[in-house]
């Protein structure tokens, strides 16, 4: 890094004396990114950023790991309002409405205008580009995308006399199979649950969205101004979720997101619904044979898409924007997208990335990783509206009230619906 800075300074000096080295102005980029605890993700980002830095000695880039998704968005927005915006950041794809409303991001469609650039912007898998567009402009580039998949313990399936190659496909099958997977000790206490579906907070809402989609509904529409929470699709998804606890298949009450992979590794649950981003963690720590499958669905499979995209901030000089754009192109190139997917379990965002030799080797060794890609046709974006955080919080609160307090589903949904309608009334 130091050497790069030195070279950068030298290049700048050369530029001042009229002998332009590269014809590009030096840019100092600040890049915010969010990831979880697993160290490989941070290391991989740093490696990729360093590689870009080395290839562009005239620029410097400082990658700042700013916390989880919500914190990173909060930080970037707060910093932007205070006039200290980062130049480029990976933020939740669904925060596009908030970022546009706060007028802090610059559209890629106005920066990347050459034919080559357009081809690049078209190279991403369609499911991921839905939430990059607002008002006809493309504001983000898919990068750190994930989708929940079904993980199951094949040894536990065998032990229960089930076919380890046949994961449950429908909710009915989930309940039937789940019952067989529950194990109790002599005192009658459960030592192994059938499954684990996180149902607390925004993560709970994320999974609920997929269930609703499998019933041919969506929690929010593409416009970002409409919520469809109080619907039959949501009610059936919730009644399935409740039945898991009622039938004794899942731990009653609130199920946390963060503890779920660990519960699976520990054999506390025979299966779990969680992000494809946990593939690496499970692969490193599971001491049993495990498989992945589509999430069981209502009418058909269904899942939410989640994760983060690249955004470039408005309050950035043209030179810095150009450098940032180059960095984004570099990070989302097929090779790097593949590398990123392999080290973390995030879903590679372009078809070309799935064609690289590296990812083919990887999926040959870890076929479980293919499920996330194959499930994409059944996946829809997560709850995305203006005022997303507040709207999503109201919906998550309603879900928690139903799950953890036994509130009446119909009434809770209706109540939440009218609250979010009030908030979104300003936008319609």
Partner 1 sequence: MSWPVRPTQQIGTALDHVAGMTLAAVLAVLWGLPLLYSVWTAFHAEKYSVQFDLTAPWTLQNFVEAWNAAPFGLYFINTVLLSLMAVSANFVLCTLTAYGLVRYRFRWAGPLFALIMVQMLITPEILIGPNYLTLARLGLIDTIFGVALPYLSSAFGIFLLRQTFKTVPASLDEAATMEGAGMWRVLWDVYVPLAKPVYLAYGLVSVSFHWNNFLWPLIVTNSPEARPVTVGLSVFATVDSGVEWSLVNAATLMTTAPLVLAFLLFQRGFVDNFMRIGIK
Partner 2 sequence: MNKPLGISRAIALLGVPLVLLITFTHYPLLQSVVSSFWSKGTKIRPSKFIGLDNYAKLFDDPVLAKVMWNSLIYAAVTIPVTVALSIAMALLVNSKLPGRALMRLSFFLPTMLPMIAVANLWLFVYVPGYGLIAQVMIWLGLPDINFLGSSETALWAMMVVAVWKEAGLFMIFYLAALQSIPQNLKEAAVLEGAGKARVFRDIVWPLLAPTTVFVAINAMLNAFRVIDHVVAMTNGGPNNASALLLFYIYQVAFGFRDFPYGATLTVLLAGILGLFAIVQFKLLDRRTHYQ
**What residue ranges bind partner 2 (CB under 8 A)?**
70, 74, 77-78, 98, 100-104, 185-187, 189, 191, 193, 200-201, 251-256, 258-259, 262-263, 266, 268-269, 387, 389-390, 393, 396-398, 400-401, 403-405, 426
Q: Which is nearer to partner 1, 11 or 79 (CB)?
A: 79
Interacting residues with partner 1 between 14 and 33 (CB under 8 A): 32
Choose which of 163, 246, 259, 289 interacts with partner 1 (CB under 8 A).
259
- Select from 15, 36, 248, 254 the one that contacts partner 1 (CB under 8 A): 36
Which token pair is 18?
Answer: 């009229």
What does the DSSP 8-state code read for residue 296?
Answer: P
The yes or no reply on residue 151 touching partner 1 (CB under 8 A) is no
Write down the least CB distance from residue 13 to partner 1, Å.
Answer: 26
Answer left, alpha or beta for residue 240, where phi above 0 means left and psi between -120 and 50 means alpha: alpha
Bridge partners of 61?
29
Task: Give whichever of 78 and 317 is closer to partner 1, judged by the CB atom.
Answer: 78
Count of chain residues binding partner 1 (CB under 8 A)? 42
Separation of alpha carbons 236 and 37, rounded Å: 34
- Rounded to whole angstroms, what are the CA distances from 405 to 60, 242, 397, 399? 52, 12, 11, 10
Answer with the entry of partner 1, partner 2, none that 90 interacts with (C-beta below 5 to 8 A by kind): none
3-state secondary structure of 145: strand
In this structure, is the dihedral angle defined by the CA atoms of residues 149, 154, 158 and 159, taken in order, positive or negative?
Answer: negative
The length of the chain in residues reads 428
Nearest distance in Å: CB 37, partner 1: 6
Residue 78 as a binder of partner 1 (CB under 8 A): the answer is yes
Among 230, 278, 349, 412, binds partner 1 (CB under 8 A): 278
Q: Which of 6, 20, 28, 84 binds partner 1 (CB under 8 A)?
A: 84
Q: Which is closer to partner 1, CB of 171 or CB of 313? A: 313
Q: At what angle do helices 388-405 and 409-424 cross, to 10 degrees?
A: 170
150 is written with which tokens? 């079904």
User: Of the candidates 7, 27, 49, 66, which one interacts with partner 1 according to CB under 8 A?
Assistant: 66
Residue 216 contacts which entry, partner 2, partner 1, none (Cβ below 5-8 A, type-dependent): none
Specify whether the CB–CB gap between 191 and 198 falls below 8 A.
Answer: no
CB of 88: closest distance to partner 2 in angstroms? 20
Q: Which helix (H) or strand (E) holds 290?
A: strand 290-293
When the beta carbons of 247 and 326 are compared against partner 2, the nearer one is 247
The reply to whether 75 sits near partner 1 by the rule CB under 8 A is yes
Distance of closest approach, residue 281 Cβ to partner 1, in angstroms: 5
Nearer to partner 2, 101 or 222 (CB): 101
Closest CA to 79 of 34, 37, 30, 46: 30
Q: Is the dihedral of CA 70, 72, 77, 81 positive or negative?
A: positive
How far is the C-alpha of 89 from the C-alpha of 162, rounded, in Å?
46
- CA 334 vs CA 142, 202, 339, 379: distances in Å: 12, 31, 8, 22
- The Cβ of residue 65 has, within 10 Å, a number of other Cβ atoms equal to 14
357 makes contact with partner 1 (CB under 8 A): no
- By CB under 8 A, tell whether 65 contacts partner 1: yes
- Beta-sheet pairing, 303-313 with 379-381: parallel
Contact 107, 141 (CB under 8 A): no
Strand partners, 220: 227
**3-state per-residue secondary structure call for 331-351:** HCCHHHHHHHHHHHCCECCEH
Q: Does the protein bind partner 1 through residue 68 (CB under 8 A)?
A: yes
65 makes contact, choosing from partner 2, partner 1, none, with CB < 5 to 8 Å by partner type, with partner 1
CB nearer to partner 2: pick between 302 and 308:
308
Single residue of 2, 16, 19, 37 touching partner 1 by CB under 8 A? 37
> Binding residues for partner 1, per CB under 8 A?
32, 34-39, 41-43, 62, 64-69, 71, 75, 78-79, 81-84, 86, 257-262, 265-266, 274-275, 277-278, 281, 285, 287, 344
């Amino acid at each position: 890094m130091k050497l790069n800075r030195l070279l950068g300074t030298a290049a700048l000096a050369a530029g001042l004396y009229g002998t332009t080295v590269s014809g590009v102005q030096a840019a100092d980029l600040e890049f915010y990114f969010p990831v979880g605890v697993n160290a490989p993700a941070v290391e991989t980002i740093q490696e990729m950023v360093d590689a870009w830095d080395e290839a562009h000695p005239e620029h410097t880039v400082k990658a700042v790991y700013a916390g989880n998704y919500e914190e990173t968005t909060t930080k970037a927005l707060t910093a932007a309002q205070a006039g200290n915006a980062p130049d480029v950041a990976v933020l939740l794809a669904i925060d596009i409405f908030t970022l546009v409303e706060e007028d802090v991001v610059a559209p890629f469609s106005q920066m990347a205008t050459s034919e080559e650039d357009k081809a690049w912007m078209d190279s991403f898998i369609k499911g991921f580009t839905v939430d990059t567009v607002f008002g006809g402009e493309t504001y983000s580039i898919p990068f750190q995308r994930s989708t929940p998949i079904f993980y199951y313990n094949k040894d536990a399936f065998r032990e229960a006399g089930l076919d380890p190659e046949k994961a449950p496909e429908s909710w009915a099958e989930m309940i039937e199979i789940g019952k067989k997977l529950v194990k109790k000790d002599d005192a009658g206490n459960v030592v192994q649950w059938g499954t684990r579906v996180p149902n607390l907070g925004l993560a709970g809402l994320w999974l609920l969205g997929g269930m609703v989609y499998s019933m041919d509904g969506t929690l929010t529409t593409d416009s970002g101004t409409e919520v469809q929470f109080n619907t039959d699709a949501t009610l059936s998804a919730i009644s399935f979720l409740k039945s898991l606890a009622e039938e004794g298949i899942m731990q009653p009450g609130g199920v946390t997101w963060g503890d779920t992979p660990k519960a699976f590794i520990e054999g506390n649950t025979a299966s779990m619904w969680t992000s494809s981003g946990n593939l690496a963690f499970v692969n490193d720590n599971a001491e049993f044979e495990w498989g992945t499958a589509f999430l069981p669905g209502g009418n058909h499979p269904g899942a939410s898409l989640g994760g983060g995209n690249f955004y470039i901030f408005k309050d950035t000089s043209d030179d810095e924007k150009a450098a940032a754009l180059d960095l984004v192109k570099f990070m989302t190139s097929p090779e790097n997208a593949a590398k990123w997917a392999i080290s973390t379990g995030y879903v590679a965002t372009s078809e070309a990335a799935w064609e690289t030799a590296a990812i083919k080797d990887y999926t040959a060794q870890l076929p479980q990783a293919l499920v996330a890609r194959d499930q994409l046709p059944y996946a829809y974006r997560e709850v995305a509206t203006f005022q997303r955080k507040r709207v999503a919080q109201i919906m998550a609160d309603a879900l928690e009230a139903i799950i953890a307090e036994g509130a009446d589903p119909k009434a809770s949904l209706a109540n939440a619906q009218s609250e979010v309608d009030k908030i979104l009334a300003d936008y319609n």
